[in-house]
């Protein structure tokens, strides 16, 4: 089998690409509306997958016998609640780690669990609770108290424990005694000013695969080769995409180089996600004005910025009153397509304007600001967030960019670049700009572990846009 099918089960569309596992050549692409079970249980997420595979086979017969690697954000994706000691340190660190692992953060709690917070936790309906707190060898009281409280319910789980390592034996004993599924990970804040997301990110992925995918009941059958939905899925889509972005930026060494610093903006119907891989200035990689340090690999999710369900809040955030009526139409009709409207050109213009607002605001929130402060010692530049000014490559993703025509890059992505100090925002100054038309970032993330060279070659088109 020389080819592999890479599938992204999205909340709206299921996308599939066929890739040569040796050369990394993109052989075929397909998409189909995601087929979620309805209220009666009829329907199966593999129905849309079957349609995609049939379309791939029509383009290349190798898709018939190809292996399948998949990621998923269907059925609401991965919902994570963070429980930490204090708001500005461990809870904030846990929030960032949850985002980098591909989760949608539905709740952040701090200061010790009680009945009121438990009610909020239950109402948020998380798939995973990320339990953090204390530096290694530091405060253990809140972390151990939270574990004791959850065990006393008992919490149905699953829980990822990524706090003070000296407390982990007791925490594990408490959760095991209550039958709560859990995974232990390294502390996300081993010491003040250090954020260590890797171990917790892997643990959340493990929980996602072992407990969450099957628990969403998106599929009850197999494909024509006996494979189940759960056996296909390798991770949450945002986590897999971030792996693809890391590979795009860093490459595989000197002989298979990367594109340099990379930012990816994915504009969806409900959220706008920003992924960045940026080499940090050593002078900016410490605490600066933040207690939790910035990391080279970052993901943020803006739940109020999007093209359909979040269109109204997007135009409100951008103060674009002229787009209000168009945004309301999109919120009321999430399946709206400009080509099927009475005035397609006007609706296409509105889509591009809403997308431009979502991209600009999402990048501003991801990057943060710089400002000049005059102190007795002289002028000092203070920075918060992540400095994106020297980014080499800006990649746009999402249906509005893939189907927005030749003006999409100019009208949606380019306005989010330029003078990084306008308003203090640390935005990309002069990046190369490209659109991921063929969904290759998710596919590369899926291929990266078992077929890294093919994954690197698959990203060649995007990487070439970043060449100077």
- Degrees to nearest 5, angle at CA 303 with 299 and 309: 135
Rounded to an integer, what distance in angstroms lies between the CA atom of residue 208 and that of residue 414? 36
E strands in 210-251: 233-236
Radius of gyration from C-alpha coordinates of the chain = 22
- 232-249 pLDDT, tens digit per residue, is 999 999 999 999 999 999
Task: Select the highest-mean-pLDDT range: 190-204, 380-394, 415-429.
Answer: 190-204
Identify the DSSP state of 280. Answer: P
- Degrees to nearest 5, angle at CA 202 with 197 and 208: 125
Q: Is residue 461 scored above 70 in pLDDT?
A: yes
Contact between 34 and 45 under an 8 Å Cβ cutoff? The reply is yes
Peptide bond into 151 cis (omega under 30): no
Helix (H) or strand (E) holding 418, with range, is none
- 8-44 pLDDT, tens digit per residue, is 998 888 999 999 999 999 999 999 999 999 888 888 9
Q: Is residue 466 scored above 70 in pLDDT?
A: no
Q: What is the pLDDT of residue 288?
A: 43
Q: Is 66 exposed, middle or buried (0-12, 13-18, 19+ CB in 10 A)?
A: buried
Helix (H) or strand (E) holding 374, with range, is strand 370-375
The per-residue pLDDT of the chain, averaged, comes to: 90
- 71-113 pLDDT, tens digit per residue, is 998 888 899 999 999 888 889 999 999 998 888 899 999 999 9
Distances from the Cα of 119 to the Cα of 53, 107, 141, 181, angstroms: 43, 12, 22, 20
Nearest to 99 by CA among 313, 386, 351: 386
């Amino acid at each position: 089998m020389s080819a592999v099918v890479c599938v992204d089960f999205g909340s709206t569309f299921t996308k599939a690409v066929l890739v040569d596992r040796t050369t990394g050549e993109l052989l075929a692409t397909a998409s189909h509306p995601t087929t979620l079970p309805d209220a009666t249980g009829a329907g199966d997420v593999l129905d849309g997958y079957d349609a995609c595979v049939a379309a791939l086979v029509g383009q290349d017969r190798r898709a018939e016998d190809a292996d399948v690697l998949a990621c998923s954000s269907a059925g609401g994706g991965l919902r994570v609640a963070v429980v930490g000691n204090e708001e500005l340190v461990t809870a904030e660190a846990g929030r960032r780690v949850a985002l980098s692992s591909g989760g949608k953060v539905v709740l952040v709690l701090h200061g010790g669990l009680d009945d009121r917070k438990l009610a909020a936790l239950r109402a948020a309906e998380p798939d995973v609770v990320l339990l953090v707190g204390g530096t290694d060898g530091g405060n253990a009281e809140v972390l151990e108290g939270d574990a004791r409280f959850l065990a006393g319910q008992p919490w149905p789980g699953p829980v990822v424990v990524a706090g003070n390592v000296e407390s982990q034996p007791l925490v594990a004993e408490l959760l095991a005694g209550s039958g709560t599924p859990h995974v232990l990970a390294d502390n996300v804040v081993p010491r003040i000013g250090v954020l260590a997301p890797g171990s917790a990110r892997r643990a959340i992925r493990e929980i996602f695969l072992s407990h969450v995918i099957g628990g969403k009941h998106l599929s009850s059958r197999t494909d024509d080769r006996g494979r189940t939905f759960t056996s296909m899925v390798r991770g949450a889509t945002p986590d897999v995409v971030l792996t693809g972005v890391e590979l795009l930026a860093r490459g595989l060494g000197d002989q298979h180089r990367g594109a340099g610093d990379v930012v990816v903006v994915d504009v969806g119907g409900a959220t706008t996600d920003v992924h960045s891989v940026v080499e940090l200035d050593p002078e900016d990689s410490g605490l600066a004005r933040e207690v939790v340090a910035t990391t080279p690999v970052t993901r943020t999710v803006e739940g109020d910025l999007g093209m359909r369900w979040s269109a109204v809040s997007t135009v409100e955030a951008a103060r674009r009153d002229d787009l209000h009526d168009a945004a309301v139409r999109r919120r009321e009709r999430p399946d709206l397509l400009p080509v099927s409207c009475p005035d397609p050109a006007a609706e296409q213009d509105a889509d591009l304007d809403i997308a431009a607002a979502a991209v600009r605001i999402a990048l501003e929130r991801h990057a943060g600001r710089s400002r000049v402060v005059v102190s007795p010692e002289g002028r000092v530049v203070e920075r918060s967030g992540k400095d994106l000014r020297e980014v080499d490559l800006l990649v746009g993703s999402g249906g509005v960019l893939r189907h927005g025509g030749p003006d999409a890059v100019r009208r949606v992505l380019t306005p989010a670049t330029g003078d990084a100090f306008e308003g203090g925002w640390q935005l990309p100054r002069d990046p190369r700009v490209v659109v991921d038309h063929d969904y290759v970032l998710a596919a590369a993330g899926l291929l990266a572990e078992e077929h890294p060279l093919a994954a690197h070659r698959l990203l060649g088109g995007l990487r070439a846009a970043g060449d100077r």
